[in-house]
Amino acid sequence: MGPEIDFYRRTYKTSPLHASTLNGICMRHGSFSQAVKLALNWVNSHMFCNHLRPEAVELIMAHCYLSPSPFPVPKSAFSGFVRFLNLLATWEWGSHMLFVDLKSMEDSLEVASEMSVGHMTAEASTAFEEQRAQQAVSRKNKVPAMFLLAYYDRLTVLDKALNDDVNDKEHVTWSPTWTSQRPSKIVLSRIVSYAKSSTKTLEGWLSGTTSIAAVSSQPYKHSMWRAVFETPLNVFDVLIETNQEAVYPRQTTQKDKAGMKYKNLFIAAAREKERNHSSQFKAGNELLIGLKPVEWYVSQLERKFGHLAFFFYNSLRPDQHIGVIWKPGAFIPSTSFKVSEAGHCFQLSLPIDDKKVKGLKVVNIGEVLASFRILGGALVENIIVDASLNE
Band (pLDDT 50/70/90 cuts) for residue 140 is low
Instruction: Determine the pLDDT at residue 196.
Output: 94
pLDDT at 60 over 90: yes
Give residue-wise pLDDT tens across range 70-98. Answer: 889 999 999 999 999 999 999 999 888 99
In 3D space, the residue among 126, 169, 167 whose CA is nearest the CA of residue 149 turns out to be 126
What is the three-state SS of 142-178?
A: CCCCCCEECHHHEEECCCCCCCCCCCCHHHEEECCCC
pLDDT at 136 over 60: yes
β pairing state of 238-242 and 148-149: unpaired
Q: At residue 12, what is the residue type?
A: Y
Give residue-wise pLDDT tens across range 103-135. Answer: 666 544 444 445 677 778 888 888 888 888 877
Phi/psi-derived region of residue 265, left when phi > 0, alpha when psi is between -120 and 50, beta in every other case? alpha
Q: Average pLDDT of 352-371?
A: 76
Give the global pTM. 0.80
Which of 40-44, 205-209, 331-335, 373-377 has the highest mean predicted lDDT (pLDDT)? 40-44
Q: How far apart are alpha carbons 70 and 10 in whole angstroms?
A: 33
Instruction: Determine the pLDDT at residue 175.
Output: 84
CB half-sphere exposure, 281, CA atoms < 13 A: 17
Instruction: Determine the pLDDT at residue 105.
Output: 62
Q: What Rg value do the Cα atoms of the chain yield, rounded? A: 25
Instruction: Determine the pLDDT at residue 160.
Output: 45
Give residue-wise pLDDT tens across range 284-335. Answer: 344 566 778 899 999 999 999 998 999 999 998 888 899 999 998 888 877 7
Give residue-wise pLDDT tens across range 155-197. Answer: 754 444 444 444 444 456 888 889 988 899 999 999 999 999 9
Q: Average pLDDT of 256-273?
A: 54
Q: How far apart are alpha carbons 311 and 184 in whole angstroms?
A: 12
Give residue-wise pLDDT tens across range 212-234. Answer: 555 544 544 456 777 888 888 88
Instruction: Determine the pLDDT at residue 297.
Output: 94
Mean pLDDT score of the chain: 78
Instruction: Determine the pLDDT at residue 158.
Output: 45
Instruction: Determine the pLDDT at residue 351.
Output: 66
What pairs with residue 350 in β-bridges? 358
Instruction: Determine the pLDDT at residue 79.
Output: 92
Instruction: Determine the pLDDT at residue 190.
Output: 95
Q: How far apart are alpha carbons 54 and 119 in whole angstroms?
A: 27
Domain boundaries along the sequence of the chain: 3-185, 188-227, 250-281, 293-390
Burial class (CB in 10 A: 0-12, 13-18, 19+), 75: exposed
pLDDT at 391 over 50: no
Residues 6+ apart with CB under 8 A from 327: 186, 307, 308, 309, 310
pLDDT at 65 over 50: yes
* CA dist 39 → 93, 230, 232, 247, 309 (Å): 18, 13, 18, 24, 26
Query: Which of 57-61, 73-77, 343-347, 350-354 shows the lowest mean pLDDT across its residues?
Result: 350-354
Instruction: Determine the pLDDT at residue 317.
Output: 87
